Structure 1
Amino acid sequence: MKAYVYGPGGATISDVAQPQPKGTQVLVRVRASALNRADTIMRKGHAHGASGGIGTVLGMEWAGEVAELGPNAKGVKVGDRIMGSGGAAFAEYTLADHGRLFHAPSNMNFEEAATLPVALTTMHNAVVTIGGVQPGQSVLVQGASSGVGLMAMQIARLKGAKLVIGSSTDAARRSRLKDHGADLAVDSSDPQWVDQVLKATNGEGVDLIVDQVSGKVASQNLAATKIKGRIVNVGRLGGTHADFNFDLHAARRIDYVGVTFRTRTIEEVREIFEEVRKDVWGAVESRTLQLPIDKVFAFDDIDQAFEHMEANRHLGKIVVTL
Structure 2
Amino acid sequence: MLSFVRVCCVLPWLQVCALLTGGGYAEKVVVPAGQLLPVPEGVSLTDAAGLPEVACTVWSTVFMTSHLSSGESFLIHGGSSGIGTFAIQIAKHLGIKVFVTAGSEEKLVACKGLGADVCINYKSEDFEARIKEETNGKGVDVILDNIGGSYLQRNLNILAVDGRLFIIGLMGGAVTEVNLQAIFARRLTVQAAGLRNRSLDNKAQIVSEVEKNVWPAILLGKVKPVVYKTFPLSEAAEAHKLMESSSHIGKILLVP
Q: What TM-score bracket applies, with the shorter chain setting the length? A: over 0.9
Which runs of structure 2 are paired with 1:283-322 in the superposition (5 Å)? 283-322=217-256
Offset of residue 189 of structure 1: 4.4
What amino acid is aligned across from residue 223 of structure 1 in structure 2? N
**2:80 is equivalent to residue 115 of structure 1:** no
Structure 2 length-normalised TM: 0.93
Q: Deviations over 1:168-217 (max 9, x none)?
A: 12332123211122111113345621111011112100011111122211
Q: What is the match of residue 152 of structure 1?
A: 87
What amino acid is aligned across from residue 281 of structure 1 in structure 2? W
Q: What is the match of residue 222 of structure 1?
A: 156
**Number of equivalences:** 255
Q: Distance in 1 between matches of 2:88 and 2:226?
A: 13
Alpha-carbon spacing, 1:173–1:38, altered in 2? closer, same or farther (3 Å): closer
Q: What is the match of residue 2 of structure 2?
A: 37
Q: What is the match of residue 103 of structure 1?
A: 38
Q: Distance in 2 between matches of 1:248 and 1:199?
A: 19
Q: What is the match of residue 136 of structure 1?
A: 71
1:141 and 1:211 in contact (8 A); partners too: yes
1:294 and 1:316 in contact (8 A); partners too: yes
**2:174 is equivalent to residue 174 of structure 1:** no
SS of residue matched to 1:230: strand
**2:126 is equivalent to residue 192 of structure 1:** yes
Gaps of 5+ in 1: 1-35, 40-58, 67-77
Q: Distance in 2 between matches of 1:137 and 1:146?
A: 22
Q: What is the match of residue 136 of structure 2?
A: 202
SS of residue matched to 1:150: helix
Which runs of structure 2 are paired with 1:251-270 in the superposition (5 Å)? 251-270=185-204
Q: What is the match of residue 126 of structure 1?
A: 61
Q: What is the match of residue 91 of structure 1?
A: 26
What amino acid is aligned across from residue 9 of structure 2 in structure 1? G
2:3 and 2:243 in contact (8 A); partners too: no
Q: Distance in 1 between matches of 2:95 and 2:194?
A: 25
SS of residue matched to 2:34: coil
Q: Distance in 2 between matches of 1:244 and 1:169?
A: 25
Q: Any runs of at least 4 consecutive aligned residues in structure 1 with deviations exceeding 4 A, and if so which? A: none
Higher RCO, 1 or 2 (CA under 8 Å, sep at least 6)?
2
2:218 and 2:224 in contact (8 A); partners too: yes
Q: Deviations over 1:249-282 (max 9, x none)?
A: 2222101111211331100000000111112221
Q: Distance in 1 between matches of 2:224 and 2:179?
A: 36
Structure 1 length-normalised TM: 0.75
1:216 and 1:243 in contact (8 A); partners too: no
Q: Distance in 2 between matches of 1:317 and 1:106?
A: 20
Q: What is the match of residue 249 of structure 1?
A: 183
Q: Distance in 1 between matches of 2:99 and 2:58?
A: 15
- More strand by percentage: 1
Gaps of 5+ in 2: none
- More helix by percentage: 2
Offset of residue 240 of structure 1: 1.6
What amino acid is aligned across from residue 62 of structure 1 in structure 2? V
Identity %: 27
Q: Deviations over 1:120-140 (max 9, x none)?
A: 111011221112112111110
Offset of residue 288 of structure 1: 1.6
1:123 and 1:155 in contact (8 A); partners too: no
Q: Distance in 2 between matches of 1:267 and 1:242?
A: 33
Q: Distance in 2 between matches of 1:115 and 1:200?
A: 32
Q: Distance in 1 between matches of 2:217 and 2:146?
A: 24
